[in-house]
Structure formats: structure tokens, C-alpha cells
Chain A
Amino acid sequence: NAGVTQTPKFQVLKTGQSMTLQCAQDMNHNSMYWYRQDPGMGLRLIYYSASEGTTDKGEVPNGYNVSRLNKREFSLRLESAAPSQTSVYFCASSEQRGANEQFFGPGTRLTVL
């Protein structure tokens, strides 16, 4: 039982490059989330998927797209990376949206030069 896994762990991009961050959970959770963590800012929600087949914008969605590929997988795509997207990205999942505990992956540290 691996919980929430994310790949890659580290990535360096040049401005304008694209990439996809992968996330998978093996807990049969309905809801999945992408956050970014910046110094002094806490965690901010980028996108979430309340259930398979649905996605919605969070607090800071600009410059990102997501795909809920199936119940297990939820990917985050940067189409044209910018230095402002340098951050640590966390994927999380929960049984359902709401008061339930969210389980977090180990994070992806992204640097955009």
C-alpha cells in the first residue's frame, strides 16, 4: 500500500518548456487535489477533482491544466513554464471532498529557469 505517489521528485525546466507531473493513489479515494507550496504562503489549491470525470479550478489555476485519467491518477500539466511556477507541488487524495482527511504525496520540487 503505497498511498499517494508522485513523479518526478525533482525537475528543472527552462522558461517556455512544458511538462506533466504525475500523481497516483491506491486507496480507492474519490477526490484528488493539486497544491503548490511557496515560502511564507502555505499551501494553495491549484485544481481538484471531486470524483472521477470531474475537475474544478482552485485558488491559483492560471498556467496549469489537469487530467483525471481514471480513479487512481490525476496529472498536472504546465504548458509553458514560467519562473513564477517555481515551487513544490503536492498531490493529495481523500475519500470524498469535505471534512475527511487528505493524504499527501511526497511532493515534486520544480525549478523554472
Chain B
Amino acid sequence: GDSVTQMEGPVTLSEEAFLTINCTYTATGYPSLFWYVQYPGEGLQLLLKATKADDKGSNKGFEATYRKETTSFHLEKGSVQVSDSAVYFCALSAGGSQGNLIFGKGTKLSVKP
């Protein structure tokens, strides 16, 4: 079945460091891919998405490129801030999962000043 694998955390970085959170997927067909962010005590918010191969999603300085050849959708940010501390979830939506979202287990990011 469809699945998402993302790097386990926690990830701890200093402010202004470069961030990469790896995400790979297994899916039938051509899924749409998402990154969601969950700030402490809150629900999930969509951070960015890509709906076809080679698309790049971007928002708030974060980017991720849909790589069909490597079945990956890695999240990157050039310079993290303390306010980026949160849990990040990679997810896919594909026909094989009846159109529902399949989430990775989440990666907790802590950014120190």
C-alpha cells in the first residue's frame, strides 16, 4: 500500500543553519505530495504542496521538489529561525489510498538561538 517515510527526529539546529528533512514515498499512480507543520499545541497547517513531477512547492522560505525518479520530496530551508521550531509531516494523496492523505510519522525540529 501507499506509505511515507521521513527522517526521524528530533532535529536540533542553531538559528540560521540550513535545514533538510528527508521524505520518500511509495504510491501507486501519481500522488500529490504535501508538507504540513504542527506548532506546539496546535493542529496541522499546510506548509507547501506539489501535484506533479518536478513541481517545486515553496512557502515561508521552505522549499520541496517532487522527484519522481527518486520518489522523494525533501523539505529544505536555507536559514532557520527559532519560530520554525515545530513538528513537520510529509504526506501524500494518491488513488491507491482512496484519495485520503497518508502521513509520515513526523520530524520534530528545535531551533536554538
B93 to chain A, nearest CB (A): 5
Shortest 4 CB-CB distances between A and B: which pairs?
A: A104-B43, A99-B32, A42-B105, A98-B99
| Residue A74 is within 8 A (CB to CB) of chain B in the complex | no
Report which A residues bind B (CB closer than 8 A). Answer: 4, 33, 40-45, 48, 50, 56, 58, 90, 92, 97-99, 101-107
Whether the pair B42, A106 counts as a contact (CB closer than 8 A) is yes
Residue of B43, B99, B105 most packed against chain A (CB within 10 A): B43
**A23, B27: Cα distance in complex, Å:** 30
Contacts of A42 in B (CB 8 A): 89, 103-106
Report which B residues bind A (CB closer than 8 A). Answer: 32, 34, 41-46, 49, 51, 89, 93, 98-101, 103-106
Whether the pair B49, A101 counts as a contact (CB closer than 8 A) is yes
Q: Which of B44, B89, B100, B103 has a CB less than 8 Å from the CB of A48? A: B100
Given A42-B106, A43-B103, A92-B44, 14 more A-B residue pairs with CB atoms under 8 Å apart are A4-B43, A40-B105, A42-B105, A43-B44, A50-B99, A97-B98, A99-B51, A99-B93, A101-B49, A103-B46, A104-B45, A105-B43, A107-B42, A107-B43
B58 to chain A, nearest CB (A): 15
Whether the pair B101, A102 counts as a contact (CB closer than 8 A) is yes
